[in-house]
Amino acid sequence: MQIKTGQRWDIFCRIVDNFGDIGVCWRLSQQLAYEHHFQIRLFIDDLTVSSKIIRSLNCNLQSQIINQIEICRWPLASDNIKPAEVVLETFSCALPFEYIAAMQNNTMWLNLEYLSAESWVADFHARSSNNTKPSRHFYFPGFTEATGGLIRESSIFQQNQKFAHDLQLQSEFFNHLNLTQETTLKVSLFCYPHAPIHELLNALAASNQSMNCYVPASSILPKVLDFFGVDDNKKIRSEIASNSSVRKLSYKNLNLVILPFLSQTDYDRLLAICDINFVRGEDSWVRAIWAAKPFIWLPYLQTEDTHIKKLNAFLNRFYANGNATTKTVVDEVHFAWAKGNFTTRNWQNYLEHLPAIRQITLEAANQLATQTDLAAKLVIFLQKL
């Protein structure tokens, strides 16, 4: 199949874990439309959740066009939808039976898998299943050229670097949020509710320097507010959601700022500004890499400690060029965070080695930014089939 400008792609997204799935699908859809000029139709099964990411989304419509993307409600409103030339099934979300039945033998059908740094990914990347018609190919994102690559818009790395060093842009960003630029150490916090949040906040508060922690509105707010002993935190969460306002809380050396739910663009900017970023899952994890700032990643919780294996594989790959002492500190803080036994000592050790961690992170992110990005590799892969 020849990949041409204007070619039609259908992307299917099932919301499993709040914003991660739609975050990835929305970024990829826009990049394929803007940079590769394809006609993208995005099918989503939960418009309400998606509207937090796609701000102008009307949840009452069956179909609408936003940012050049046609967004359709799933389940399909009609059985008579003609499949596109390229079909992207994200994260094994299972295409509708009637849609599969309407696909032609020359339809290019890919399943976009979850991101992992494990060594087996390269072996399974691009394999096909011959028990379906048309054949389905399994596409694995990853951290080497032998995999499907990482989502990276053409200018995001350079934009983040500019934002990280431009105090005027940073000041304008904080003014946009009704905040002022601070000179203290800046930390962003986005994680799963099972993380040892109280232990982390205690460690931040006990630090030997003042620091600001920025928490975008998410499912961890009840735990954050409980740490500060805030009464009626349900009411406060509702006010933050409805008024797009910020709330400031302080304890010892910790100044915590609860932010409203941020757009993807604003979240990228927050990551670029902060000195340390706590991120989770897949979407914010990759965005932290492109911010090129020290980050602590919390993988999605899985049975049999599969998430710990994924974490270990990533740490070994991303920090491979760091010295042994720094690598040990990075490993300790990540495993303490992931296993729920985070301590003040973990945090202080991390801060003491922050300059070295900052340099390693920048070098690793720079190296990854030289690789072909996921959208471009998708196009190349289809051309070679």
DSSP at 305: G
21 catalytic per annotation: yes
Query: Do the beta carbons of residue 200 and residue 254 sit within 8 Å?
Result: no
Half-sphere exposure (CA, 13 Å, Cβ side) for 223?
18
Half-sphere exposure (CA, 13 Å, Cβ side) for 214?
29
Rg of the chain over all Cα atoms, to the nearest angstrom: 21
Kindly name the residue from 10, 199, 282, 373 that is annotated as catalytic: 282
What is the C-alpha separation between 173 and 187, in angstroms, rounded?
16
Kindly name the residue from 21, 113, 118, 283 that is annotated as catalytic: 21
282 catalytic per annotation: yes
Three-point CA angle 166, 168, 172, nearest 5°: 120
Q: Which tokens in the block code for residue 309? A: 């294996």
DSSP string, 354-368: HHHHHHHHHHHHHHH
What is the C-alpha separation between 378 and 385, in angstroms, rounded?
11
Query: Do the beta carbons of residue 203 and residue 347 sit within 8 Å?
Result: yes
Return the active site residues: 21, 282
